A and B are shown apart, each in its own frame.
Chain A
Amino acid sequence: MLIAMPDGSRREIAGENIRIEDILKQLGINPEEVIVARNGKIVPEEETAGGSDELKIVRFVHGG
């Protein structure tokens, strides 16, 4: 699957039905700081991804 990282770079990971939380850990990203879109839609990190899925990892902001 293709992954768009928060810094705009791209990574590719092989696998099926991997929990998004585990993908984040594998990439060294703290799940508390990001949200993840799978094929264009934000999904909870309990969901899985794999195959030809495209993930986009977004570092959300908190200031005001």
Chain B
Amino acid sequence: MTSIKYAWKRSLPVMAGYLVLGFGFGILLEAKGYGAGWALLMSVSIYAGSMQYVAIDLISGGASLLSAGLMTLMVNARHLFYGISMIERYKGTGKKKPYLVFALTDETYSLVCSGDVPEGVDRKSYFFWVSLFDHSYWIIGSVAGSLTGSILNFNTSGIEFSMTALFIVVFVEQWKSASGHASAMIGTAASVACLLIFGPDSFLIPSMLTITVALTALRKVFEKEKE
């Protein structure tokens, strides 16, 4: 199997998710008065699913550049950790590396960090094609959503649940496949606690701090479990 074919096959589940989510994003953006050109620009240059949903609120509300930057920092801080875990894998990818790093979304991360590639498939070009396919699905979905939203006029309230549904699906997948139950529970419990204490607008940073501290404190326990 060629790398491009294998990448295509592996990316199919993401295609489904990105087309649906991108579509939802395009419709929402259009509903706020920003057409297909904006959907295209944002999906090409930002390329971060949940952040683009948040960005709709920011641009339609005329947020300041500073608050937009801080919000991005909070919502996308998890990408720091994706990067950290991909340093070894992305070593020696040469000219492709800047694009691989730029395009490292949640879903692409889940594809490039799970499992090894079969024989005859070049890892580096697999990484590249998977990243490019995923990016394309996201762009196509969001532009299609925007165009559909401008033609059809239907009640879109509640469509933002597509983002929730995606994260729940990933959560369930991780829960079924992984030894990370304790970590998943810590993350959920810490976030709920911080939400109750700090409220919906400012609980993300305390949550991330709590999670990092808790996982650091439990490192010895977790690493013993693995042995």
Whether both chains belong to one complex is answered with no
Interface of A toward B, CB cutoff 8 Å: none
